[in-house]
Amino acid sequence: MNLERVSNEEKLGLCRKYYLGGFAFLPFLWLVNVVWFFQDAFIKPAYTEQLQIKAYVKRSGLGLAVWVAVLTTWITIYQHYRSQWGEMGDYLSFTIPLGIP
Amino acid sequence: MDLISTKWIIHLLLYCLFHGVSCNSVDQKIYIKLNDTVPCVRLLNATHQIGCQSSLAGDVGVIHFLESEENLDWVLSTGPSPPYMVILESHLFNRPIMMKLKNSFSRIAGVAVIKPSSSPIQGFSPHTTCPNENTGVYSESYDPTLAHCNTTVWNPIGNGLSYEEFNFPIFSLKDDNGTEVIRQCYLNHNRVVNGSAPSYPLCAMELSSHMHAVTNTVTCMRRSSNGAFSLNPEVVCDPLGNNNVWGSTKSLNNTATGHSENETVVIAAARLDSRAFFHGISLGAESSASGFITLLAAAGALANVTRENHPPRTILYTFFQGESFDYIGSSRMVYDMEKDNFPIDLDNIHSFVEIGQVGLHNISGLWLHSDPVSRRNNSIDTEVMSLTDVFQKVANDLNISLNLSDVSQPLPPASFQRFLRSQPIPGIVLTDHHTHFTNRYFESMYDNTEYLNLTFPADLPPEQQFTYITDTAKGLAKVATMVARTLYKQAGGADEMLASINADELTVAQMLYGFLVQTKNPWFEAIIIPEYQPLLGPAPPEYYVGVITNNTFTTKLVSYVLANLTGIAVNISRENCTNHREFADDAQSTDMNSYLWVQGVTPPNGTEPEGYCVRSTVRLTQAQSPAFLLKEYHSSNYSTWSESRWKSNIGARIFLVAGHDLEMLTLGVGVAILLISLLLTYFVNSKADFLFSSGREPANATY
Amino acid sequence: MTASVFFGCTFIAFGPAIALFLFTIARDPLRVIFLIAGAFFWLVSLLLSSLVWFISVQISNKESAPQQKGLLIFGVVLSVLLQELFRFGYYKLLKKANEGLLALSQEETMPISIRQLAYVSGLGFGFMSGAFSVVNILADSVGPGTVGIHGDSQHYFLSSAFMTMAIILLHMFWGVVFFDACEKKRWWCLVIVVASHLLVSCLTFQNPYYVGSLVPTYIIMFLMGVWAFCCAGGSLRNLKLCLTCKDKDFLLANHRPR
C-alpha cells in the first residue's frame, strides 16, 4: 500500500487501528506504526490530521520501547540463568539445547 | 528418432546412472578419514556425569605427539598454536598426565591414545580402587569399619580415569596404517626444528563425539520425558540394562511367583559384563569371562546327574548383567524376589555360591571369601563353615589348592553383596585373589586372551584352534569340576555320585574360544537358533552391558550355551517347538520349561543342518535397575547409570590447517576486490552513455 | 578453511560480477530475463558436453591414466566448442526475439539494443560458468581444513577464486566481441574469440603450477577487455576525457544529451 495515494482520513484511521491492535499483545503492530507513519507524522508539512497521527505514533513508540525493554530483560535473564534454574528452567523451555547444561 | 534408439538411449542413461563416476572431490583432497577409532562416551548417574564430550561439530587441534611427561610443557604453556590435539602412546595414558591435560582444557582440543599390541607391564586399571563401593553391602550402617574399603583395597592399581569427567573428546586409535599416516603428517609439518616453532600449514586432527545428555541421570531423564510443552521430546539418554540369564536343575513354575513352598534353592552366580575406558571394547577375560565360563562348565557337569538323581535342593544358576555399574542385574533380581515377581523368593534361598575372577588361579591359588558381619549370627556361621568344609574336601580330592581368607575380611565386590543387603544368607565367593585383585588390568582394554594365557600354537589353523585344549582350559575345567561337586553336595546330593561329576575340558576349551576369540565356530553355529546365524562373526562378543533397548547378542549366546548344556533334546516339530507346545496342556509347557529350536549340525551325508528342539529351564529376566522402574532417578540404593545418546557422526579425521593470518588476508583481499569493483562499476555506469558513445549515430538512442 | 576463507574467496570470485549485476542489470527486468536465459544456455551446453564426456569415460578403460587425461582434454575442448556454439545459437535467438519484441511493444525503438544484449548474455554465461567452477570448492572451504595433506598446493582455494573471477569477466568480454563480430560479419573475430577461449581453458591444465595458468589468463583477460571496450563504442579519447572529468564540458560543447 502506497501511503501517497491514500487520503488523510484513511491514514488516520489506519494509524489508529494499528495503535489499538498493538494492545492485544502485538508490539509488532506498534513497530509498523512507528516506521510507516514516521514520515507522515513528523516530516511532512502540517495538515489537519497530523497532530492526531503524531500522537498515535508517539504512543506506539512508547509502547514499543516498553515491550523491547521487558523482552530484552527477560531474554537476558533466561539465557543467563536457565542452566542454574535446573528443573524450573527445563519446564519453562520449549526446546533445550543438547549436550550443554 | 524412432522408438528403438530412444529406448537404447534411455537404457544407456540408466546404466550410466547406476554405475556412477568416482569423483575426485575437493573433500578428498583435504581430509583423511580415520577408520578403527573408538570414542569415550558420556555416562551419567544420579549425581555426576563421567566420560568425554566434544563440541557439536567436533574439536579441531594441532597434532602433537607427546614423547614424555616433560614434553607436556609444549602443549600446556609454550606451544604457539593452541589448541593442541595430544596423541599419547599408551604408556603415557595415566592419571597424572590426564589430570594435567584436564585442568588446562582451554589449550587442549582432545586426546588420542594409540592402542599398542602389548599390555603395559606395570598394570593398568581405569576403574576405581574400591569398585561399587556405595551400592555393595558394606555401608556405614552395616559396618563402618568395613565400608569404603577401609580394611582391604580391592583394586589398588585403579586410577579412576573411567570415572573422571573430561571436557574434550578422547579417542583410541589402533596402531596400524592409519596411525602411520598421522605420524608421517606430523613429521612433515609439525616437527619443532632447532627450537623454533613450526610454520603453517600445520597438521591437525578433528575428533567428533558430541554427547546429548548433561549433568546427571535425573536431568537427562527429565529432559527425555518433558511432555509438558514438547510434542515430540527428544530422548537424550537411555538407562543401562540388559537381561539376566538363569536356569535351574529342576523346572520351576514360572508363573507361580513369590514364595515357593517346600522349595529350597542353592544359588550359583557369576557375572557376565565388564567395561573399559573406551566404549565397548572390553573383553573382561579374567574379570568376568573366566567366572561365567567356569559356572557354565559346572552346570554342564551337573546336568546328567541332577536329571537322574535330583538332590533335595534345587540349584539355580544365575548370570548377572550390568554388575560393573553398581550391580544392575543382581539388584533387579533381588528386587523382583522382594516384590514376589520371581518364581522363588529370598526365604527359599538356602545358600549362595558365587564364582568371581578365577582365571589366574595357577598364579595365586583359589580363595574363599565370606561376609564377617552376617557370620556373627551363629546359624549362618555354621552354614558357611559347612559350605567351606565341602569346598575343602572336594578340593582335596581334586588336588586343588584352596585357601580360606580371614574371617574378618569383607567380601570382594560381588553380586552376593546385593542379596546380603536384603537378608543375611550364608554364602561364599570363590576367587583367585586373597586380598587385592590378582588382575592387574581390571576393567580395562588389556584384560584379554593374552592375559589369560589363552594362546594357541602358531601353526594351528583356526578350525583346529577351536578344539585345541589349552592349559587355561584344563585349569578352568578343574575349577568347574570342584564347583560342580560342591554345589551337588551343598544341594544335599549323595557322596557316591560326586566322583562321576566332571567338567569336560573340550567344552571349556570351546567356550573359551567362542566367548573370547571368535563367535563363529561349529559349536555355536549348532546350538543357536537359525535366525541368529548371521550375527556370528570373526570377533568375540561384546561384554559392555549396553542400553536396555539394545538386547545384546552376548546374553542370548550365554542362554543358548546354558540351554545346550543343561537341557535335553525333545522330539517335537519345529512349529510346536517355537510355540512351546510339548504337552497337551499348553500352560504346563510354558510355565515349567522353555523351548528352543536350534540349528543343529549337518549330517555326514546331507547338505542342510538338521535342527532339533531343546527343552531347558533357561530363562531371561530383565536386568534394569529398579531405580528406573520406580522412576527414582536420584536413588542412592540402586544403580542409576545411564548412557548419553549421540548423533552418528562420531569419528576422527586429519587435515592441514592454515595460519590465521592467511585466512584474514584472504578475507581482506576479497572484501577489497568487492569494494573496488563496486566503486568502479558505479563510476563506469554513471558515465556509460558518454564512455560508449563513439561510433553511434546521434539520431538513434540505442543501437 | 573457515568462514573467513569462504567469504574471502566468494567475494574474490563473484565480486565484480555482483557489482555489475547490482548496478547495471538489477533495475531493468528485461535485462534480468536475458541474463538468466543466457545462463541457461550455457548450462545446456555444459550438460551436453558432460554427457558426451561421461559416456566416453564409461566406455573407456578406467585404469589407464593417460587415456583418462586424454579424455579430459577432449572433454574440455568439446565443452569450449559447444559453449561457443550455444553462444552463436543464443545470438540467433536474440536477433529473432528482438524483431518479435519490436512488433509487440508500443514504442518505435527497440527496448534493448543488441550491444546491451551482448553484454548481458556474456555476463549470464559468466555467472553460470563461475558458479559451476567454484561453488563446490567454496562449499568445502567452510570446513576447518585446507588443501595440502596429500601434497597439493596450499593456494588451491585462492587461485580457484581468482581464476573464476577471470573467467566470468572473460565470458562477458567474449560475449561483447562475439555479438559485435556477428553483427558486422567479421568472421575472423569469431575465430579469435574461440581460440582465446580454448587457450584459457587449456591453460588450466598447467595447474597446480598456478603462475603458469593465472598470469597468462589475466593477460588475455586484459587484452579482451580492451577489445570489448572498443567494440562497445569506447575509445581512448572518451576514456581520457572521463578520467579528467571533462566529459560534461565536452557534452555541453557538442550539444549532446547526457
CB distance B344 to B316 below 8 Å: yes
Q: How many CA atoms lie within 13 A of B279 on its CB side?
A: 24
Kindly report the backbone phi and psi dihedral angles of residue B595, in degrees, each rounded to the nearest multiple of 5, phi listed first: -120, 140
Beta carbons of C109 and B702 less than 8 Å apart: yes
Please tell me which of the candidates C57, C140, C247 has its beta carbon nearest to residue B30: C140
Listed range (A85-89, B285-289, B411-415, B525-529) with the worst mean pLDDT: A85-89
Residues B382 and B332 grouped into a single domain: yes
Q: Do A90 and B226 touch (CB under 8 A)?
A: yes
pLDDT at B511 over 80: yes
Which residue is closest to C55 within chain B, CA to CA? B16
Nearest CB among A91, A94, A99 relative to B56 is that of A99
Question: Residue C23 carries which DSSP code?
Answer: I
Place of cell 578422547: B170
B364 within some domain: yes
User: Cβ(B97)–Cβ(B72) under 8 Å?
Assistant: yes
Q: What is the largest CA-CA distance in chain A?
A: 61
Within C32-147, strands assigned E span none
Using the predicted structure, report yes or no on whether residue C153 has a pLDDT greater than 70.
Answer: yes
Which run of H or of E encompasses B510? helix B505-516
Alpha helices in B160-289 (DSSP H): 177-189, 217-224
- Residue C140 and residue B26: Cβ atoms within 8 Å? yes
Q: What is the pLDDT of residue B229?
A: 63
Q: Does A84 touch chain B (CB under 8 A)?
A: no
Q: What was the ipTM of the complex prediction?
A: 0.92
Domain boundaries, chain C: 3-253
Nearest Cα to B475, choosing from B360, B386, B379, B586? B360
A87 touches chain B (CB under 8 A): yes
For residue B373, tell me if it sits in a domain. Answer: yes
**Structural domain span for residue B519:** 242-567
> B211 and B312: one domain?
no
Q: Which has more confidence, B702 or B682?
A: B682
Average pLDDT rounded to a whole number, residues B271-298 = 92
Q: Are residues B458 and B536 in the same domain?
A: yes
Query: Does B652 touch chain C if contact means CB atoms closer than 8 Å?
Result: no
The answer to whether C and B touch (≥3 CB pairs < 8 Å) is yes
What is the pLDDT, as a whole number, of residue B356?
A: 94
Buried b / exposed e across B577-590, counting CB within 10 Å, b at 16+?
beebbbeeeeeebb
Which residue among B213, B215, B230 places its CB closest to the CB of A94? B230
User: Do B475 and B578 lie in a common domain?
Assistant: no
Average pLDDT over residues B123-152: 91
DSSP assigned state of B198: P
Average pLDDT on B25-36 reads 88
Across the range B186-193, mean pLDDT stands at 87
Does B394 fall in a domain? yes
pLDDT at site B39? 94
Same structural domain, B562 and B572: no
- Does residue B164 share a domain with residue B273? no
The DSSP bridge partners found for residue B84 are B62, B108
Q: How many CA atoms lie within 13 A of B97 on its CB side?
A: 20
Question: Taking 70 as the threshold, does the pLDDT of residue B565 lie above it?
Answer: yes
Nearest Cα of chain C lies from the Cα of B164 at a distance, in angstroms, of: 29
C-alpha cell at B265: 534353592
d(CA A62, CA A40): 18
**How buried is B217 (Cβ within 10 angstroms: 0-12 exposed, 13-18 middle, 19+ buried)?**
buried
Find the Cα–Cα–Cα–Cα dihedral B116, B122, B123, B127, rounded to 10°.
Answer: -110
Q: In the predicted model, is pLDDT for residue B90 greater than 90?
A: no
Per-residue pLDDT at B19 exceeds 50: no
Task: Establish if A47 belongs to a structural domain.
Answer: yes
**DSSP designation for B547:** B
How far apart CA C84 and CA C190 sit, in angstroms, is 9
With an 8 Å Cβ cutoff, is B659 touching chain C?
no
How far apart CA B13 and CA C251 sit, in angstroms, is: 61
Q: Which of B598-612, C29-43, C216-230 has the lowest mean pLDDT?
A: B598-612
CB-CB under 8 Å, C143 with B31: yes
* Residue B24 pLDDT > 80: no
Would the pLDDT of B12 be above 70? no
Q: Identify the pLDDT of residue C6.
A: 94
User: Which residues from chain C sit within 8 angstroms of residue B12, using beta carbons?
Assistant: 55
**DSSP-derived 3-state class of residue C88:** helix
Tell me how far apart the alpha carbons of residues C36 and C20 are, in angstroms, rounded to a whole number. Answer: 14
Quick check: is B144 in a domain?
no
- B611 C-beta neighbours (distance < 10 Å), count: 17
Residues B592 and B674 in one domain: no
Mean predicted lDDT score pLDDT of chain C: 88
Residue C103: count other Cβ atoms within 10 Å of its Cβ: 7
Highest mean pLDDT among B231-235, C199-203, C205-209: C199-203
Which helix (H) or strand (E) covers residue C71, if one does?
helix C65-104
- B-C C-beta contacts closer than 8 Å: 167
Question: For the sheet containing B241-248, what is the strand order?
Answer: B402-404, B366-369, B427-431, B349-355, B265-271, B314-320, B241-248, B619-624
Q: From C233, which residue of chain B is nearest by alpha-carbon distance?
A: B692
Closest Cα of chain B to A87: distance in Å?
8
Chain B residues with CB under 8 Å of A91 CB are 226, 228
Higher confidence at residue B483 or residue B700?
B483
Residue numbers of the domain that contains A40: 3-92
pLDDT of residue B171 exceeding 60, the answer is: yes
B703 at C interface, C-beta within 8 A: yes
Amino acid B698: pLDDT? 41
From B19-28, B114-123, B251-260, B587-596, the region with the lowest mean pLDDT: B19-28
Give the side-chain half-sphere CA count within 13 A for B406: 6
Mean pLDDT within B13-28: 56
Phi, psi angles (nearest 5°) of residue B165: -110, 125
If one counts the domains in chain B, the total is 4
Answer positive or negative: Cα dihedral of B644, B648, B653, B657. negative
Mutation target among C6, C10, C11 for the B interface, most CBs of B within 10 A: C11
Give the up-direction half-sphere exposure of residue B600: CA atoms within 13 A in the CB hemisphere.
16
Asked whether the predicted pLDDT for residue B605 surpasses 70, the reply is yes
Residue among A86, A91, A99 minimizing CB distance to B212: A99
pLDDT at B244 over 90: yes
Q: What is the CA radius of gyration of chain B?
A: 32
Domain count, chain A: 1
Residues B332 and B185 in one domain: no
> Span B417-423, mean pLDDT?
94
Q: Which of B4-8, B75-79, B126-130, C146-150 holds the top average pLDDT?
A: B126-130
Together in a domain, B219 and B271: no
In chain A, what residues touch B226 (CB-CB under 8 Å)?
A: 90-91, 96
| Residue B679 CB coordination number (10 Å) | 11
Residues B250 and B342 in one domain: yes
Q: Do chains A and B touch (3 or more CB pairs under 8 A)?
A: yes
Say whether the peptide bond before residue B96 is cis (omega within 30 degrees of 0): no
Indicate the residue of C11, C143, C146 with minimum beta-carbon distance to B670.
Answer: C11
Please name the residue that has the C-alpha cell 528482438.
C98
**Span C86-140, pLDDT tens digits:** 999 999 998 888 888 777 776 667 778 888 899 999 999 999 999 999 999 999 9
Mean pLDDT of B369-384: 94
B209/B307 same-domain check: no
What is residue B277's DSSP assignment? S
Q: How far is the C-alpha of B647 from the C-alpha of B665, rounded, in Å?
A: 35
Same-domain pairing of B362 and B498: yes
Residue type, B270: A
Give the pLDDT mean for B606-620.
90
How many residues are present in chain A? 101
Is residue A60 one of the residues assigned to a domain? Answer: yes
Q: pLDDT per residue over A46-72, tens digit each?
A: 888 888 889 999 999 999 999 999 999
Question: How far apart are alpha carbons A26 and A57 in whole angstroms?
Answer: 15
How far are the Cα atoms of A61, B630, B671, B678, C258 from residue B686, in angstroms, in the given order? 40, 78, 23, 12, 10
User: How many angstroms separate the CA atoms of B175 and B170, rounded?
Assistant: 16
Contact by Cβ (8 Å): C131, C104: no
The answer to the question of residue B465 being in a domain is yes
Q: Is B625 part of any domain?
A: no
> For residues C215, C216, C220 and C225, what is the CA-based torsion angle, rounded to 10 degrees?
0
The 10 Å Cβ neighbour count of residue B5 is: 9
Cell output for B490? 551343598
Q: What does the block give as the cell for C49?
A: 558436453
Alpha carbon of C182: minimum distance to chain B alpha carbons (Å): 14
Nearest CA of chain B to the CA of C112: how many Å? 7
* Mean local confidence (pLDDT), B458-482: 89
C-alpha cell at B601: 549340525
What distance in Å separates the CA atoms of residue B277 and residue B160, rounded to the nearest whole number?
Answer: 10
Nearest-Cα distance to chain C for B117, in Å, is 28
Query: What pLDDT score was predicted for residue A42?
Result: 85
Q: B695 or B85: which carries more pLDDT confidence?
A: B85
